[in-house]
Structure 1
Amino acid sequence: MGCSTLLLAAVVSTAGGLVFGYELGIISGALLQLKAEFHLSCVQQEALVSALLVGALLASVVGGCLIDRQGRRKSIVLSNLLILAGSLVLLVSSYYALVVGRILVGFAMCISSMSCCIFVSEMVAPDRRGFLVTLHETGITVGVLAAYIINYFLSACGGGWRWMFGLAVVPTLLQLVSVRFLPSSAEEPDGDRETDDSRVEAESVRFNAMFQSKDNMRTRTAIGLGLVLFQQLTGQPNVLFYASTIFHSVGFQSDAAAALASVGLGSVKVIVTLTSMASSDRVGRRPLLIGGCSLMALSLIAIGVLSGHPAADAKRPCDSEDFGVNGTARPHSSPGNGSHMFPTNDTPGGDGRHLQPLDTPLAPSPSDRGAVANWAILVCMMAVVGAYSVGFGPMTWLLLSEIFPAAIRGRAFAFTNCFNWAAHLLVTFTFLNFIDSIGVSGTFLLYGSASLAAAGFFYFLLPETKGKTLEEIDRELRSKRFFHSDKPCCCFLGCRDSSHQYQRIQYQVGTEDRLH
């Protein structure tokens, strides 16, 4: 691959991530304005946030066939056009138009994400694959940070949510222009070319083969599902979507203060992702993912413990007072009008102080004890975001682009992505009511438990793929060997353990290695 093509591939991957991350993060601040302007209930807020995920879920159902039949490049171009159309719909001052626009954008960004990861993984050499594919995740983190920064600057601007949604066209146009200069087919990169025999065999693979023990496909599918399900069940999507809402809940009182705290999260996410990107081909996928899950577990459990103090955990997203866009509290005009926001520590039972003005620096709580706890929660939230950016963020999509055979890679990617977005939708749509039922503390303790389970799952089942060509990864997975062990993979997912089979596998693999 020439330097110019490599650069364009990097731009396409990064720009796709920018759009993805921007659309994920921008709703965090826009929601604070939208719920005040449209008087949204908790269910309406969750529906608006989750509309993006509904579109992504629909795309994951049909996207695999689209990518495999029409090609990666055409799929990226289609996603760009859909995002531009969806961004126009989002400018309409109607709640239902916002929902439709978010569904359309979610559909497009899911197609773009799948296409970019597969496109780049098939184009580059093995020693660059980790770097180039994780560029997509880097773009996501930069997009999230950009969204939080824009949220902060437009937090006190009436109708600023239109600008928040509309600015997504900038990275979209960048990707649209860049991808047109790349080759239309990237399935046969130098140094990673399949033989005629292996291609014929791969083309005979059908979608239902993902659930069979032949070629260790059942294990591959289990790994893929574990990657996408655990990354959602650990609650990371809600940290992005509801960052400002969470900070309001634990005591950051104005919209600007909550948005500025979110900028801190986005900054940490970018810095750590850049570090992970440089380490994926050197340290390996397995250590980064398991280590990230472990740190997430510790940080989430710490948040659960710290947020149990009365000043924070007493504030629920469906309480009876809310904030205007200028950060001042206002009562409901009538009971049940659907406008639900957070009260401050100045409600009855507090210390009686007045609300602080908008230009007040980050002020978690009027009490010293509450302030210390809230700043500690902020630090732990940064640790969660950082741990996710080391592990799940880049490693999920990198591993998914590596572990499946070429002939069904698009469909397998879409199948696992379908579960990804379904879990994402479930976790996001229930978040506010979850907090309203069991509080911030109980919610984050559940997320911490899921992170512990994820670390154990990947410790026992996850292979190491660094430095391998896609053909080598496929061959070794077919032989049922885990890359982090000298023994074959003999597990409950279909590998039959016997000394005869062990010797036969070792002989076959040794012969293949000598031939290649």
Structure 2
Amino acid sequence: MGRAPPALPLCASVSLLGGLTFGYELAVISGALLPLQLDFGLSCSEQELLVGSLMLGALLASLVGGLPIDRYGRKRAILGSNLVLLAGSLSLGLARSLPWLVLGRSAAGFAISLSSMACCIYVSELVGPRQRGVLVALYEVGITVGILLSYALNYALASAPRGWRHMFGWAVAPAVLQSLGLLLLPAGADDTAAHRDLVLLQGGEATKLGPERPRYTFLDLFRARGNMRGRTAVGLGLVLLQQLTGQPNVLCYASTVFRSVGFRRGSSAVLASVGLGAVKVAATLMAVGLVDRVGRRALLLAGCALMALSVSGLGLVSFAVPVDSGPSCLALPNATQQAGLPGGSDLLQDSAPPPMPRAGGDPQEPALSASKKAKTRPAGRDVRTPAPPALSTSSPATPGPAPQQAVLRWAALVCMMAFVSAFSFGFGPVTWLVLSEIYPVEVRGRAFAFCNSFNWATNLLVSLSFLDLIGAIGLSWTFLFYGLTAVLGLGFIYLVVPETKGRSLAEIDQQFQKSRLTLCFGHRQSLAGVQYSRLDVPVAS
């Protein structure tokens, strides 16, 4: 009896390695930025341009990437994005001027954004309902692991001469491994030559809609036909709420919260980066184990509810114990070497690594404006941009907190951990899983890209408005505002987002077609109108 090809492990590796590349590229700038500032003499605005160029490239990919995904196929889109990533990494590794650095970061942003969309769609179409949730969620696991890996390599290469070139170059490794795995997998669900492989992946049988299956175009996303307007509402609602709940901006104060409970100087950054990263990995792994058991809606509802409670608690605590502003950008390099990290790499000593956006988001954490002037909070404190460019590490000594204040500061830390965990098992992985399931195959790539463009654009908007919001209402009320947004998101998920657990893509499509209004409370709808045909596939002996 012949053995079935290891298609399922290969499919899992493609998802995991794609996320690992995404997460590594997002976070690698945290360790590379300070050496780049020293080597090139970058000003604050130049650092801001370098960090933000990745997000601009990703936004461009989300605007134009849907067409090649639908026209040339998901597999070719991933392979093409890996070639773009290789070109971007070469530009970064060999760069001798700022324009080449910006070009390389933009190319890397374009590549990871295109790959994230194509990878989630590819995996969701390639496997059956029982494995789809786990394998697509593995992409988010890869993102969190990639972020932690970038922290480790940044630390190891901090004292190496021109270490930043190696930091950027290592991003190619997971992309090459992913490409090798893709060569052993079928092109996609519509590839008739590979359909037997797909049937083996999906458990021994395949179903397809009858000849009356409708065809859709991009403009149908905004029409009532097939309830496409309702699907678009679900997709846009999830990506907007993912950003408007403030997850990226809250993380900008991670190291400040750690420092406020007594972890100062080098230990603050190590705990903020590695500690929060470990929490994100653990929470995402929990989502992988539960997404096909308890369902997408349950994870979204639980995650959104915990986000609302934790960020509101963070806002209430900051009323009683004012939270200091984050570190500010330094236009000129200075001697800020401190003990604890090799080479005096102070970027990771007093601040968390720069949050970056996720499209997949994790992604999911924005590059903030670093050149804005300080604004004043109502209490009179200077609030400066919590941005990634080279960071000030000087922190005035403060007396030890009173016992009651210590309790409140630790409560802020618990709220921060809970908030990160809630996002990592809710909006983080499940948003992109749902987006890869709810659209018809003809426009799935363009619809996914359309929603993803709103994700990146909203990310940018939320990031740029953060300081203005703090200046207008204060940090505490800003956190409470994010809590209110999460409560509204809870209502949206309960009323509008359907449950797709355990259903084939054809069943999900039929579910939307039979429902004029997308008001779903998790009940399984009748699918009697769907016509299926069994494919008899001989198994080689």
TM-score by length of 2: 0.77
- Paired with 2:164 and 2:463, the residues of 1 have a C-alpha distance of 20
What corresponds to 1:476 in structure 2? 511
Structure 2: stretches of 5+ with no match in the other structure: 200-204, 340-345, 347-372, 375-384, 535-541
Q: Does 1:458 align with 2:458?
A: no
What corresponds to 1:108 in structure 2? 111
- Paired with 1:470 and 1:432, the residues of 2 have a C-alpha distance of 42
Q: Secondary structure at the match of 2:293?
A: coil
- Please tell me the residue identity of whatever aligns with 1:346: P
Displacement, 1:31? 4.2
Q: Does 1:143 align with 2:146?
A: yes
Displacement, 1:41? 5.7
Residues 26 and 151 in structure 1, CA contact (< 8 A), matched pair in contact too:
yes
- Paired with 1:78 and 1:97, the residues of 2 have a C-alpha distance of 21
Greater per-residue helix proportion: 1
Matches within 5 A, 1:36-115: 43-91=45-93, 92-115=95-118
Q: Secondary structure at the match of 2:216?
A: coil
Residues 307 and 313 in structure 1, CA contact (< 8 A), matched pair in contact too:
no
Displacement, 1:110? 0.8
Q: Secondary structure at the match of 1:268?
A: helix
Q: Secondary structure at the match of 2:142?
A: helix
What corresponds to 1:9 in structure 2? 11
Please point out which of 361, 371, 379 is paired with 2:414.
Answer: 379
Residues 329 and 390 in structure 2, CA contact (< 8 A), matched pair in contact too:
yes
Q: Does 1:23 align with 2:49?
A: no
What corresponds to 1:414 in structure 2? 449
* CA distance 1:211–1:68, shift in 2 (3 Å): same
- Paired with 1:384 and 1:32, the residues of 2 have a C-alpha distance of 29
C-alpha deviations, 1:477-497, integer Å up to 9, x for none? 101075535598xxxxxxxxx
Displacement, 1:102? 1.6
What corresponds to 2:352 in structure 1? none
What corresponds to 2:311 in structure 1? 300
Q: Secondary structure at the match of 1:317?
A: coil
- Paired with 1:34 and 1:296, the residues of 2 have a C-alpha distance of 36
- Please tell me the residue identity of whatever aligns with 1:225: L
- Please tell me the residue identity of whatever aligns with 1:466: K
* CA distance 1:106–1:54, shift in 2 (3 Å): same
- Please tell me the residue identity of whatever aligns with 2:446: R
* CA distance 1:35–1:374, shift in 2 (3 Å): farther
Displacement, 1:309? 5.7
Q: Does 1:449 align with 2:484?
A: yes
Q: Does 1:218 align with 2:229?
A: yes
Residues 42 and 433 in structure 1, CA contact (< 8 A), matched pair in contact too:
no
Q: Secondary structure at the match of 1:16?
A: helix
Q: Does 1:403 align with 2:438?
A: yes
- Paired with 2:171 and 2:33, the residues of 1 have a C-alpha distance of 16
Displacement, 1:192? 4.4
* CA distance 1:402–1:101, shift in 2 (3 Å): same
Q: Does 1:197 align with 2:200?
A: no
What corresponds to 1:498 in structure 2? none
* CA distance 1:514–1:112, shift in 2 (3 Å): closer
C-alpha deviations, 1:120-155, integer Å up to 9, x for none? 111111111111111111111211222233344456
C-alpha deviations, 1:51-81, integer Å up to 9, x for none? 2111111111111110111111111111111
- Paired with 1:107 and 1:163, the residues of 2 have a C-alpha distance of 21
Displacement, 1:37? 6.1
* CA distance 1:101–1:511, shift in 2 (3 Å): closer
- Paired with 2:315 and 2:108, the residues of 1 have a C-alpha distance of 33
* CA distance 1:102–1:29, shift in 2 (3 Å): same
Residues 28 and 245 in structure 1, CA contact (< 8 A), matched pair in contact too:
no
C-alpha deviations, 1:283-333, integer Å up to 9, x for none? 00001001101111111122223345666335563699998552499xxxx
- Paired with 2:176 and 2:424, the residues of 1 have a C-alpha distance of 26
What corresponds to 1:346 in structure 2? 396
- Paired with 1:300 and 1:399, the residues of 2 have a C-alpha distance of 25
- Paired with 1:297 and 1:257, the residues of 2 have a C-alpha distance of 26
Residues 59 and 110 in structure 1, CA contact (< 8 A), matched pair in contact too:
yes
- Paired with 1:159 and 1:371, the residues of 2 have a C-alpha distance of 42
* CA distance 1:411–1:2, shift in 2 (3 Å): farther
Number of aligned residue pairs: give it.
Answer: 474
What corresponds to 1:130 in structure 2? 133
* CA distance 1:172–1:417, shift in 2 (3 Å): same
Q: Which moved more, 1:411-420 or 1:247-256?
A: 247-256
- Paired with 1:172 and 1:256, the residues of 2 have a C-alpha distance of 32
Q: Which moved more, 1:390-399 or 1:233-242?
A: 233-242
- Please tell me the residue identity of whatever aligns with 2:86: L
* CA distance 1:316–1:139, shift in 2 (3 Å): closer
* CA RMSD, 1 decimal: 3.7
- Please tell me the residue identity of whatever aligns with 1:101: G
Matches within 5 A, 1:207-246: 207-238=218-249
Displacement, 1:232? 1.4
- Paired with 2:306 and 2:113, the residues of 1 have a C-alpha distance of 28
What corresponds to 2:300 in structure 1? 289
Q: Which moved more, 1:303-312 or 1:315-324?
A: 315-324
Q: Secondary structure at the match of 2:500?
A: coil
Please point out which of 248, 251, 272 is paired with 1:261.
Answer: 272
- Please tell me the residue identity of whatever aligns with 1:186: A
Please point out which of 148, 169, 180 is paired with 1:166.
Answer: 169
Q: Does 1:120 align with 2:157?
A: no
Structure 1: stretches of 5+ with no match in the other structure: 330-334, 352-364, 489-505
* CA distance 1:151–1:382, shift in 2 (3 Å): farther
C-alpha deviations, 1:397-433, integer Å up to 9, x for none? 1100111111111111111111111112223345567
* CA distance 1:486–1:67, shift in 2 (3 Å): closer
* CA distance 1:93–1:386, shift in 2 (3 Å): farther
* CA distance 1:68–1:421, shift in 2 (3 Å): same
C-alpha deviations, 1:199-245, integer Å up to 9, x for none? xx44x311111111121111100000011111112223345678558
* CA distance 1:320–1:117, shift in 2 (3 Å): closer
- Paired with 1:112 and 1:78, the residues of 2 have a C-alpha distance of 9
- Please tell me the residue identity of whatever aligns with 1:19: T
What corresponds to 1:502 in structure 2? none
- Paired with 2:221 and 2:412, the residues of 1 have a C-alpha distance of 42
Percent identity (aligned): 49
Residues 297 and 447 in structure 1, CA contact (< 8 A), matched pair in contact too:
yes
- Paired with 1:111 and 1:458, the residues of 2 have a C-alpha distance of 27
TM-score by length of 1: 0.80
Residues 43 and 332 in structure 2, CA contact (< 8 A), matched pair in contact too:
no
